[in-house]
Structure 1
Amino acid sequence: MIRMLLSVLGREYAQPLRRTVTLMTTTAVAEGLSYALLVPVLRSLFGSTPDDVWPWLIAFGISIAVYAALRYISDLSGFHVGTSLLRGMYHRLGDHLARLPIGWYTPGRLGEVSGLASRGVLQAMSVIAHLLAPFISASVTPLTILLVILVFNWQMGLAAMVAIPIVAAIQVWTARATVAGDAERAELDDEATGRVIEYLQAQPVLRAGGRTAERFRLLDDSLQDVQRANRRSTLAALPGAVGLAVTVQVMFTGLLALGAYLALGGNIGVPEVLTILVLAARCADPLLSLTDISGKLRGARSVLAKLDTVLRTESLPQAAEPIRPVSHGVEFDSVAFRHGDRKVIDDVTLSVPEGQRLAIVGPSGAGKSTLLQLLARFYDVDAGAVRVGGVDVRSIDPEVLMAQISIVFQNVYLFDGTIEENVRLGRPDASDAEVRAAATTARLDEVIERLPSGWETNVGEGGAVLSGGERQRVSIARALLKNAPIVLLDEVTSALDPVNEAAIQEGIERLMAGRTVLMVAHRMRTVQRADRVVFVDGGRAVEEGGHDELLRRGGCYAEFWNIAMAPVAGE
């Protein structure tokens, strides 16, 4: 478990973790040794001079105080290290997830990542704060007590030692019996989490279909599978728990019979027998708790294994010696890209000189948005190269690359916070005046004036409080504040009402001014403002040229234009 923790967290946490484990082990040994003083205490009480018990009682009290102090220090150390590990785990997981290719985030991984990032990390990191000390105590304290018994009477000590391999065998057998069930339960938990997310996302569809009172069958089935898996896991662990309880009881009964036999034979005194039986009884509670603690540790280990798998997922490679581009022209050089078994981009060569605008047009699924994502390095190309300022994006430091690019998508996601906090994501160190200026340019100030809390309005998760057009204005204000030299626009106005479209189009024009722009557009009037147009179909650049030039050719672009503009021409 410790090796797994260090593998997940990194070796920089090895020293404090080992120090905490050593402190917890010392505490458990001190607890076991303190019970050794019960022998002279009971011997004095049952002997001919009971008054002699006081020095031993004082010594016993001091040993308990030392144990209590060690327990407090070790528990406090466990909490501090656990908190540090939790913070480190969140940072490491978040940084790694940010470096993974966008294609890694398949719908099936949403539930898994959501579960890992919330309860999974908490469960795994709670090992140090809440489980490690009880586990060490349940393992080390009984062993120390058995050694004490062995010192005072070798016959009863050896008899008690017989329980050690039996308890160990039960623990190993229980772990093997439950490992498959634990893995199944964890997998079904992730699936159920995904189904809950799906159910929430499907609410508009369910309600539009008049199914508001109807149960969601997929979610119900998933929850029932989790219930059945929990039942199977509990039944698999039950024989181990019963076996451990029976072993402890048999051990105690055997020691009682052996003690009586030795006492009747005069080989040991009655106080010593009573003391050894008290010590044996003290072993019972921690041993019986091993089943519950071990089950929780197995659950945490399963989560750690998943975290380890995610953290071992290969991220986008970074250049050993990054190159910083000095200009902002964009170039696609014989680019090819596959998504799974499908070739999305096939031998595309394009160039956008610095400060010019390129419109990317074509039918749905042609690969238009993928070109923008390759430029932003959400994916790496399979062949060819994407360059910014003549430098391959794979040779640019990711932070430097993203500092060069502002992206405005059709579907805007806002974080649960105020409008100002969401705008400031573009440039957190911007002054208040710069934030207000960006909002005014994006015509976001009109929205803010209508809101009762103004800039302090909380937009809710995903920006649920705002309309689509209002969220888009926040996104444009954010891009304006970032002031990056390259702008990527992905069908920004395709689903807006005329009022919002006009306002947003004005903000976009100001955003594009003087910058290198690549825009994917369905609204053909937007295309007319581009310096060049490329028509993409089937992942290939079929035609390229100016708008008027492509219309004169009468090819794919002209046909696409005529179809798109036909409803307008008929009015």
Structure 2
Amino acid sequence: MIRMLLRVLGDEYARPLRRTVALMTATAVAEGLSYALLVPVLRALFGSTPGEAVPWLVAFGVAVALYAALRYFSDLSGFRVGISLLRGMYHRLGGHLARLPIGWYDARRVGQVSVLAGEGVLQAMSVIAHLLSPFIAAGVTPLTIVAVMLAFNWQMGLAALVAVPVVAAIQVWSGRSVAAADARTAERGHEATGRVIEYLQAQPVLRAGGRTHERFRLLDDSLRELQRAARRTVLSALSGAVAMTLTVQAVFTALLVLGAYLALGGGIGVAEVLAVLVLAARSADPLLSLSDIGGKVRGARAELARLDAVLRTEPLPEPREPALPGSHDLEFESVTFRHGERTVLDEVSLSVPQGQRLAVVGPSGAGKSTLLQLLARFYDVDAGAVRLGGVDVRAMSSEALMERISFVFQDVYLFDGTIEENVRLGRPDADDADVRAAATAARLDEVIERLPGGWATNVGEGGALLSGGERQRVSIARALLKDAPIVLLDEVTSALDPVNEAAVHQGIEHLMAGRTVVMVAHRMRTVRRADRIVFLDDGGIVEEGGHDELLRRDGRYAAFWNVSLNSS
């Protein structure tokens, strides 16, 4: 487990953990060695001159004081390192998640990551502060005591040593059994979390169908499976605890019988037998605690394994020597992209000169949004190349690429904070005048004027306290404030009412002015103003040209245009 913990933490945080582990190990050894002084103490007390026990009692007191000091500093180090690494772990996990391809985030993984980033990281990092010290002590202290027993009487020490592999085998067997049950429980827990999220998201559909008082069958089934898995975990842990208890008691009984036999035969004194039995009893406590500690450690280890799996997922590779583009034109050269077994784009080639607007239209599922995602390198292409200013986006650093691109998507996500904080995400160091100018250009100032809190109005989680049109205006103001030379627009007005659509279009016109633009749209109001239009279907470009030219051809685009006019 410690090896996995070091791997999850990474080289930056591994050194303080190694120091803490070394200190905890020294503490456990000191505890075991301090008990060695009980042998001469008891030998003197049960001998003819009990007064000789005084120096040994003093030595025992000094040893206990030394152990207490080491224990204090090791526990303090555990807490400090645990708190420090918890913060570092969140930073490392967050940074890694930000570098993973968007395609990695399917519905199942979103639920897993939400649990992992919450209680998962806390449980994994709590090992350092709460479990690492007793876990090390439970293994090291009994081994030290066995070594002490061997030093004082090899027969009883050897008998105790024989029990070590037996106890280890039981611990390994129990650990594997419970770990398998824990894995099933965790899997069922993730499924139940996903079903809870699904149930909450399905509320509009359930209520529209008049089924608000019905139980959600999929959620009920998932919770029942979770209950069964948890019951199996408890039974597995119980069998391991019982086996460990019986083994420890059997070993102690064997030592008692062997000690009595040796004492009756004159091979060892009564005081030595009593001292060795005291040592055996003292080593039994940490061994018996292994069942409880082991269960908690296994739970934390399972979370560590899940963290490790996420952190070992390969992000999109970064270039060793990043290149910078000299212009802001865009190019797709024979681009092929597959999602699973489906080919989304097949040998697509097109270009967008700097400062021009390209509109991408076509039926749903044609791969329009995928074009934008490849430009922003949310994914890497399977074949071909996507270039910005003549430079392959894979040869640019992520930071340099993102600095040059502004996004406005149909589904706008706002962080739980004020309107001003969400706008400033575009450029945090912008002065107030620039922020106000961006808001005015995006027609966001109209929204701010009618809100009681003005700029300080809280938008709620995901922007839930604002309407769809208001969220879009915040998104456009944010993009305007960023002032990137390339703008990507994805269905930004498809779900807006006419009033908000008109306001958003004005904001978009401000945003597109003088920039290289790629827009995806179903509504054709913005499309006709594009310098060039491509019609995408079945993973390839069916038609391309200007608006009037494509209408004269009377092909797929013209049919699409006529349908949009009739539907509006």
TM value normalised by structure 2: 0.95
Match of 2:117 in 1: 117
User: Which residue does 2:565 correspond to in 1?
Assistant: 565
Is the contact made by 1:367 and 1:537 (CA closer than 8 Å) also made in structure 2?
A: yes
Q: Which residue identity does 2:187 align to in structure 1?
A: E
* C-alpha distance in 2 between matches for 1:351 and 1:173: 62
SS at match of 1:315: coil
Corresponding position of 2:315:
315
Distance apart, 1:354 and its partner CA: 1.1
Query: How far is the alpha carbon of 1:47 from its aligned partner?
Result: 4.3
Is the partner of 1:528 in helix, strand or coil?
helix
1:78 to partner: Cα distance: 1.8
Letter in 2 for 1:254: A
| Cα shift at 1:522 | 1.6
Once the two structures are overlaid, the 10-residue window that deviates more, 329-338 or 48-57, is: 48-57
Query: Aligned ranges for residues 466-545 of structure 1 at < 5 Å?
Result: 466-545=466-545
Q: Which residue of 2 aligns with 1:553?
A: 553
Partner of 1:251: 251
Shift in Å, 1:108: 2.0
Aligned to 1:32: 32
Q: Which amino acid aligns with 1:310?
A: V
For 1:191, the equivalent position in structure 2 comes to 191
Give distance in 1, aligned partners of 2:411 and 2:318: 29
- CA distance in structure 1 between the aligned counterparts of 2:95 and 2:461, rounded to whole angstroms: 21
Shift of 1:195: 1.6
Q: Is the 8 A contact 1:111 1:192 kept in 2?
A: no
**Aligned 8 A contact 1:368 1:520 in 2:** yes
2:166 is the alignment partner of 1:166: yes
Aligned to 2:104: 104
Point out the more displaced range, 143-152 or 405-414: 143-152
Unaligned runs of 5+ in 1: none
Report the Cα distance in structure 2 between the residues aligned to 1:322 and 1:40, rounded to whole angstroms: 71
Aligned-residue CA RMSD (Å) = 1.9
Q: CA deviation at 1:517?
A: 0.9
Distance 1:343 1:23, change over 3 A: same
The 1-side partners of 2:322 and 2:265 are apart by 84
Report the counterpart of residue 408 of structure 1 in structure 2: 408
1:127-526 to structure 2, matched below 5 A, reads 127-526=127-526
**Helix, strand or coil at the partner of 1:518:** strand
TM-aligned CA deviation for residue 565 of structure 1: 0.6
CA distance in structure 2 between the aligned counterparts of 1:121 and 1:295, rounded to whole angstroms? 17
- 324-333 or 41-50, larger mean C-alpha shift: 41-50
| Letter of the structure 1 residue corresponding to residue 34 of structure 2 | S
Aligned residue identity for 1:415: F
CA separation in 1, counterparts of 2:343 and 2:268? 84
Q: CA deviation at 1:383?
A: 2.1
Amino acid at match of 2:255: L
Paired with 2:451 and 2:249, the residues of 1 have a C-alpha distance of: 70
Q: How far, CA to CA, are the matches of 1:48 and 1:449 in structure 2?
A: 97
1:44: how far off?
4.0
1:435, 1:224 → 2: CA distance?
52
* 1:77 Cα offset (Å): 1.7
Report the Cα distance in structure 2 between the residues aligned to 1:401 and 1:86, rounded to whole angstroms: 31
Deviations 1:337-370 (A, max 9, x none): 1211222112222221111111111111111111
Greater displacement, 84-93 / 364-373: 84-93
Q: Offset at 1:181?
A: 2.0
Q: Distance in 2 between matches of 1:266 and 1:344?
A: 87
Could you list the runs of 5+ residues in structure 2 that have no partner in the other structure?
A: none
Shift of 1:232: 1.4
- 1:48 Cα offset (Å): 4.6
Residue 60 of structure 1 pairs with residue 60 of structure 2:
yes
Q: Distance in 1 between matches of 2:61 and 2:420?
A: 61
d(CA) in 2 for partners of 1:331, 1:268: 89
Tell me by how many angstroms 1:567 deviates: 4.3
How far apart are the structure 2 equivalents of 1:158 and 1:540?
A: 77
CA 445–58 in structure 1, closer or farther in 2 if over 3 Å, else same? farther
User: Partners in 1 of 2:321 and 2:52 — Cα distance?
Assistant: 78
* Cα distance in structure 2, aligned partners of 1:423 and 1:145: 65
Counterpart CA distance in 2 for 1:280 and 1:437 is 78
Indicate how the Cα distance of structure 1 residues 442 and 279 shifts in structure 2: closer, same or farther if over 3 A, else same.
Answer: same
1:468 Cα deviation after fit: 1.1
Letter in 2 for 1:526: T
The one-letter amino acid of 1:495's match is: A
Aligned length: 568
For 1:519 and 1:333, the matched residues in 2 are separated by: 19
Secondary structure, aligned partner of 2:256: helix
CA distance in 2, matches of 1:443, 1:98: 31
Shift of 1:251: 1.8
> What is the one-letter code of the residue matched to 1:525?
R
TM-score, normalization: structure 1? 0.95
- Give 3-state SS (helix, strand or coil) of 1:337's partner: strand
